[in-house]
Amino acid sequence: MKTKLIAVAAIATTLTMGLSGCGSSSSSSSSSGSGGTIASKMIFGGPPEFKTRVDGIPGLEKNYGVTFGKYTVTDTGGPVTVNALKRGQVDAVDLFTTDPAIAANDFVILEDPKANFAAQNIVPIVSKDKATPGVRQVLNGIQSKLTTDGLGKMIGEVANAKKDPADVAKGWLTDNSLDTTGSSAKGVSLTVGSANFPENVILANIYAEALKAQGASIQTKLNIGSREKYYPALEKGSLDLFPEYTGTILTYIDKNATATSPADVYAALTKALPANLVALDQADAQDSDAVVVTKATAAKYGLKTIADLAKKG
């Protein structure tokens, strides 16, 4: 009997570890004394880590005095979050600024005048020993042409028109005359990875196709579920190149990072990266977090900025 109990306890521990590792869909209410504000009547939906991230719920509380009535775990700017907001299961959510669903559903992005959300410029993270001058030149060439609008258009082609991310990537390279063949990356072999959302897959495809055209031998490992899974792979060298976002990767590596402006975040990131990884040029294109509400909610409470949520409602 005793051994049985120990076995049960061991399994239970394993279970909790596993679950907390992949984010259980729990929700909890925080009822700190800010009753009466607009936010206190709202349910906020976002990814599990947003609840504790420096620029997540704690940041909104610190910078704007906004405390939501309840936090519900949805997904990371994906269909679950969009649909929960659309159907009114949550009142405000954490989405990404390039998300075509924002315009498609007439959602409203609340302005962030105090720069609670750190800059999220797109930046390729590369293994240092693979970052030859040729590879740097090819990737930085792409970086200089990437814009937020251009990125939004490509995501729309994949998410709405269901085009293949690889085809969309090739099309973009052609449109920006970056598809020239050459030999500047010849002799380098790289494994390119991506997370599992269309934008990241498109970016990885752009990098991969351009490097391939310049003679590099490329392998891809796309659609990897979570940063907890792919960042260690990048650190250990089983991935060599990954499209990242300056703010998110910085706070992932350095939990206490406070930089918010693009230049500060980039500077902090280059310092925080381990010695075997290097950040190439950051693009103008940004895909940052944003507090998003429906048009109806914005009209009802007269919301324009995140600060408006702290008003008495």
Per CB under 8 A, 299 contacts another protein:
no
> Among residues 5 and 133, whose Cβ is nearest to another protein?
5
Residue whose structure tokens are 């008003």: 311
Is the Cα torsion angle 77, 75, 193, 171 positive or negative in sign?
negative
According to CB under 8 A, which residues from 88 to 117 bind another protein? 99-101, 104-105
How many Cα atoms sit within 13 Å of 141 on the Cβ side?
20
Options 45, 46, 56, 198; binder of another protein; rule CB under 8 A: 198
Per CB under 8 A, 189 contacts another protein:
no
Per CB under 8 A, 25 contacts another protein:
no
> Among residues 222 and 253, whose Cβ is nearest to another protein?
222
**Contacts made by residues 78-81, CB under 8 angstroms, sequence distance 24+:** 78/197, 81/45, 81/46, 81/47
| Site mask for another protein (CB under 8 A), range 247-286, x = bound | ----------------------------------------
Nearest distance in Å: CB 295, another protein: 16
How many Cα atoms sit within 13 Å of 220 on the Cβ side?
20
Reading the block at residue 260, the tokens are 């918010």
> Among residues 41 and 163, whose Cβ is nearest to another protein?
163
Output the DSSP codes for 119-165: P-BEEEEEEGGG--HHHHHHHHHHHHH--HHHHHHHHHHHHTT---H
Nearest distance in Å: CB 7, another protein: 6
Q: How far apart are CA 172 and CA 151, in angstroms?
A: 9
- Cβ atoms of 312 and 45 closer than 8 Å: no
Nearest distance in Å: CB 197, another protein: 6
Which span (115-123, 209-217, 235-243, 295-303) binds another protein, by CB under 8 A? 235-243
Q: How far apart are CA 251 and CA 268, in angstroms?
A: 10
- Cβ atoms of 77 and 47 closer than 8 Å: yes
Per CB under 8 A, 14 contacts another protein:
yes
> Among residues 14 and 31, whose Cβ is nearest to another protein?
14
What SS3 class is residue 259? coil
Per CB under 8 A, 87 contacts another protein:
no
Reading the block at residue 243, the tokens are 């499209």
Per CB under 8 A, 9 contacts another protein:
no
Nearest distance in Å: CB 19, another protein: 7
> Among residues 161 and 275, whose Cβ is nearest to another protein?
161
> Among residues 42 and 85, whose Cβ is nearest to another protein?
85
The enclosing H or E element of 270 equals: helix 262-272
According to CB under 8 A, which residues from 140 to 179 bind another protein? 158-164
Options 27, 226, 276, 305; binder of another protein; rule CB under 8 A: 226
Residue whose structure tokens are 């200089």: 144
Using CB under 8 A, list all residues that contact another protein.
Answer: 3-4, 7-8, 11, 14-15, 17-19, 21-22, 78-79, 82, 99-101, 104-105, 158-164, 196-198, 221-226, 228-230, 232-233, 236, 238-239
